[in-house]
């Protein structure tokens, strides 16, 4: 009879969690904004199988935006093209949306100029962008580029949101923003819990959120506390 510890999906989930935990530890161990950003883009390519290129767009106090960290020229050029045309997913992520996703840029209607150019000139087909922010500042965006259509899954979106929150916390620490940690830590915990529920019960992101909300209502606790209980209940391997 197969027990929980023998479930291949459970093993895959634990391995993914362990990789994520290791990446986060390395991220917070960096000193200086530039080192933190380079670690973040390297982590994105490492963690997400559909991510072929990654970069970070950073907002300066003058509202100027640039790309100080990128894995390669494709990512840098993809961002530069958005700045030049004043449209694209990373700009939407910076100013309006916490998460921006496109599974096929060749048919994307939101960025009628940038999308076709990115596909034709750079070979980009999919995008997944996450806002980097604190409770009082938009810091920028973490941008994941995929060379194939439908490169990113709902699990990627959940884990990416958590990674972006950790990047924001690390940047906030570097920029000495005192109120950033607690609010973003709550978002990290909720995203992590959603990922665990998705893996444990083979459900989608919306169902994971609804499950977490139902736990909070049934136990009369906050979403953050419910998420913490889910994360704490995950079996840990002895090291």
pLDDT at 35: 86
- Domain 33-152 of CATH type 3.30.70.2660: no
- As a whole number, mean pLDDT of residues 225-239 equals 66
pLDDT at 9 over 90: no
Query: What are the tens digits of pLDDT across the range 77-113?
Result: 999 999 999 999 999 999 999 899 999 999 999 999 9
* Domain ranges for the chain: 33-152
pLDDT at 186: 67
Model pTM score:
0.70
Query: What are the tens digits of pLDDT across the range 28-82?
Result: 777 778 888 898 999 999 999 999 999 999 998 778 899 999 999 999 999 999 9
Query: What are the tens digits of pLDDT across the range 134-164?
Result: 656 678 999 999 999 999 998 899 889 888 8
Q: Report the 3 state secondary structure along the chain.
A: CCCHHHCHHHHHHHHHHHHHHHHHHHHHHCCCHHHHHHHHHHHHHHHCCCCCEEEEEEECCCCCEEEEEECCHHHHHHHHHHHHHCCCHHHHHHHCCCEEEECCHHHCCCCCCHHHHHHHHHCCCEEEEEEEECCCCEEEEEEEEECCCCCCCHHHHHHHHHHHHHHHHHHHHHCCCCCHHHHHHHHHHHHHHHHHHHHHHCCCHHHHHHHHHHHHHHHCCCHHHHHHHHHHCCCCCCC
Share of the chain above pLDDT 90, in %: 43
Share of the chain above pLDDT 70, in %: 82
- As a whole number, mean pLDDT of residues 18-25 equals 78
- Mean of pLDDT over the chain: 82
- As a whole number, mean pLDDT of residues 211-236 equals 76
Q: Determine the Cα–Cα distance for residues 96 and 98; give it in Å rounded to an integer.
A: 7
Using pLDDT thresholds of 50, 70 and 90, give the confidence band for residue 205.
Answer: confident
């Amino acid at each position: 009879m197969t027990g929980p510890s023998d479930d291949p999906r459970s093993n895959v989930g634990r391995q993914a969690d362990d990789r994520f935990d290791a990446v986060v530890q390395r991220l917070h161990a960096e000193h200086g904004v530039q080192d933190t950003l380079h670690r973040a883009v390297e982590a994105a390519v490492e963690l997400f199988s559909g991510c072929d290129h990654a970069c970070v767009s950073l907002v300066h106090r003058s509202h100027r935006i640039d790309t100080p960290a990128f894995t390669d020229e494709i990512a840098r050029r993809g961002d530069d093209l958005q700045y030049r045309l004043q449209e694209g997913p990373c700009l939407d992520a910076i100013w309006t949306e916490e998460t921006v996703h496109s599974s096929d840029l060749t048919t994307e209607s939101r960025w009628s100029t940038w999308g076709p150019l990115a596909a034709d000139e750079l070979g980009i087909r999919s995008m997944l962008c996450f806002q980097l922010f604190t409770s009082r500042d938009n810091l920028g965006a973490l941008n994941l580029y995929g060379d194939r259509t439908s490169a990113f899954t709902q699990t990627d979106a959940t884990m990416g949101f958590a990674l972006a929150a950790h990047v924001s916390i690390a940047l906030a620490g570097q920029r000495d923003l005192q109120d950033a940690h607690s609010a973003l830590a709550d978002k990290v915990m909720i995203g992590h819990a959603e990922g665990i529920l998705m893996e444990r019960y083979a459900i989608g992101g919306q169902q994971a959120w609804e499950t977490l909300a139902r736990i909070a209502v049934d136990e009369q606790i906050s979403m953050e506390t419910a998420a913490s209980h889910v994360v704490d209940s995950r079996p840990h391997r002895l090291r």
